[in-house]
A and B are shown apart, each in its own frame.
Chain A
Amino acid sequence: EPEVTQTPSHQVTQMGQEVILRCVPISNHLYFYWYRQILGQKVEFLVSFYNNEISEKSEIFDDQFSVERPDGSNFTLKIRSTKLEDSAMYFCASRDRVSKNIQYFGAGTRLSVL
């Protein structure tokens, strides 16, 4: 069964460093999302992406964050200068055009900022 894959599963970085979280959405999907979940808290929407541009972003998604679909398969989230409070589980999700907004999630990348 097709699935969303995320790499790495765990990323440890120093505060102020740049990180890139990678996602390979399901191949025929057109809508892509990043969410994050701080330990013990709810899953929060970060950004949605369609037709090679951001369609919506949350207040969390400030200038330190960017997303890119550099080729036909990858979808990346970049954090330019990480802060301690960026430590969280980051989930990528994708959906197709017709699935009534059923989003398929990857297993997540645990980001630890030290």
Chain B
Amino acid sequence: SQQGEEDPQALSIQEGENATMNCSYKTSINNLQWYRQNSGRGLVHLILIRSNEREKHSGRLRVTLDTSKKSSSLLITASRAADTASYFCATDGGSGGSNYKLTFGKGTLLTVNP
């Protein structure tokens, strides 16, 4: 089993629609983050939610965290073609020590059609 599994693996929507991606994880965490990766590029941090938080907003992004279910969701509202990218959840902490390595999921490929 793997830490940080996103679903769906791929999501195709029309511009203006909302996109929801889910992430599940296995071990206890300190924080859960979402990163975005444009094709062939590096990872860009989007939003971080702490283990004691349930919901976080940043612009058109809304993240929820349910530690009892070890799951998180990322909602992108009013999507734009420029939101087309892969989205990864990443977890850190728990019993992993203080160096805070990130454990990534496999990602959701979001395609927003104009």
Contact = CB atoms under 8 A, between A and B. Distances in A.
6 contacts: A91-B42, A101-B92, A101-B93, A103-B45, A105-B45, A107-B41
Interface of A: 4, 31, 33, 35, 41-45, 48, 50, 55-56, 58, 91, 93, 95, 100-108, 110
Contacts of B100: 31, 48, 95, 101, 103
A43 B30 contact: no
Secondary structure class of chain A's binding surface, majority of residues: strand
Contacts of A55: 97-99
Nearest to A104: B45
B42 A107 contact: yes
B43 interface: yes
Contacts, number: 70
A17 B90 CA distance: 33
A101 B33 CA distance: 9
A56 B101 contact: yes
A103 B34 CA distance: 11
